[in-house]
């Protein structure tokens, strides 16, 4: 059957991709980046503080990591709650012990329901990223634009008030987006987002309301993806992270600074039988002389300063 001619006549057909959100470029061809004090690998540890509703609707799709049993799925609900009551404090203790600065990605509903966490965040001063209101507040293709706008605006207003921070970064719940999400994020004061997983370094992303920075937060070494989706062991997760660090450091020696971004969940790695594997990774990485431990926006600002 002959191909429809309209495929070849698509107005956005172009080399590398079929949209104009960013300029196509190969990573190896870009201007080299240098990190402070001659460091070669920027380490960004992104800790997810999430609220999964007990009556999760799962519309328009079932949420990865969410409720799986008929209501009330108390087993999975209480496990997610464990992360915010117990696991988080183990993870923060490990990060502090090895001098690794975390970035916290937060559902605004969680801080509304647990004010002690809002107080903890204000006390610590860790950078906060928006993560929607909760883990059933999804962005999706065909979503009503005004509904999505209200969801983003209200969640950011609540989060900014609770944390006393001018929240600039965003990670969508389960990285879901509609065709309008980047435009609406920029309209609500967001300067960078972490939903797209198509690069190892930041890049400029165009929206109808100005540019965002797309920050690299890989799914392939996320704890939930490796352990729950791929069914690999905690030992394997740690090996994959350190293998990534080895390769990125080798590339950095030839092509300029790289970023190792770890997306982790307290209800998963904060368990008693798993925390030692996170501690081992942090001990290894923090001991490397070429590693710069920084927040997401510190890395972005350093990168931006070298793009002129």
pLDDT at 14: 74
Which is nearest to 262 in space by CA: 203, 222, 227, 296? 222
SS3 state at 106: strand
Sequence-distant (≥ 6) Cβ neighbours of residue 288 within 8 angstroms: 41, 245, 249
Q: What tokens were used for 39?
A: 């460091």
Reduced to 3 states (helix: H, G, I; strand: E, B; else coil), residue 66 is coil
CATH class for the region spanning 33-304: alpha beta
Q: Is the pTM of this model over 0.85?
A: yes
Q: In whole angstroms, give the CA distance from residue 27 to residue 29.
A: 5
pLDDT in tens, the chain (308 residues): 677 877 677 777 777 777 889 998 999 899 999 999 999 999 999 999 999 999 988 889 889 889 988 899 999 999 999 999 999 999 999 999 999 999 999 999 999 999 999 999 999 999 999 999 999 999 999 999 999 999 999 999 999 999 999 999 999 999 999 999 999 999 999 999 999 999 999 999 999 999 999 999 999 999 999 999 999 999 999 999 999 999 999 999 999 999 999 999 999 999 999 999 999 999 999 999 999 999 999 999 999 999 98
Token pair of 57 as six digits: 């609707």
| Cα–Cα distance, 297 to 201 (Å, whole number) | 13
**pLDDT of amino acid 141:** 94
Domains of the chain, residue spans? 33-304
The percent of the chain in helix, strand and coil, each rounded to the nearest 5, is: 45, 15, 45
Contact 105, 171 (CB under 8 A): yes
SS3 annotation, 205-271: EEEECEEEEECCCCCCCCHHHHHHHCCCCHHHHHHHHHHHHHHHHHHHHHHCCEEEEEEECHHHHCC
Which residues are 84's β-sheet partners?
none
Within 10 A of 194 (CB to CB), how many other CB atoms are there? Answer: 26
CA-angle at 162, arms to 110 and 95, nearest 5°: 70
């Amino acid at each position: 059957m002959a191909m429809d001619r309209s495929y070849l006549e698509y107005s956005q057909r172009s080399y590398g991709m079929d949209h104009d959100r960013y300029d196509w470029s190969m990573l190896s061809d870009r201007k080299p980046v240098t990190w402070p004090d001659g460091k070669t690998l920027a380490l960004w540890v992104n800790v997810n503080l999430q609220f999964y509703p007990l009556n999760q609707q799962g519309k328009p799709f079932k949420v990865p990591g969410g409720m799986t049993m008929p209501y009330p799925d108390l087993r999975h609900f209480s496990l997610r709650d464990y992360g915010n009551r117990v696991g988080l404090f183990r993870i923060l203790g490990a990060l502090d012990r090895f001098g690794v600065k975390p970035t916290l990605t937060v559902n605004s509903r969680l801080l509304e329901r647990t004010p002690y966490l809002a107080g903890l965040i204000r006390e610590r001063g860790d950078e906060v990223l928006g993560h929607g209101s909760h883990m059933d507040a999804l962005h999706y293709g065909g979503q009503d634009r005004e509904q999505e706008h209200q969801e983003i605006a209200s969640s950011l207003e609540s989060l900014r008030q609770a944390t006393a921070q001018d929240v600039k970064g965003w990670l969508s719940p389960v990285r879901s987006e509609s065709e309008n999400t980047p435009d609406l994020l920029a309209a609500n004061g967001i300067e960078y987002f972490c939903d797209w997983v198509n690069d190892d370094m930041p890049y400029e992303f165009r929206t109808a309301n100005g540019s965002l920075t797309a920050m690299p937060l890989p799914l392939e070494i996320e704890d939930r993806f490796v352990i729950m989706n791929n069914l690999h062991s905690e030992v394997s997760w740690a090996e994959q992270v350190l293998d990534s660090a080895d390769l990125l450091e080798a590339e950095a020696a030839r092509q300029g600074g790289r970023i190792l971004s770890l997306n982790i969940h307290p209800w998963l790695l904060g368990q008693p039988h798993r925390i030692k594997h996170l501690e081992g990774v942090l001990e290894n990485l923090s001991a490397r002389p070429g590693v710069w431990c920084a927040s997401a926006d510190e890395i972005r600002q350093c990168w931006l300063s070298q793009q002129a």
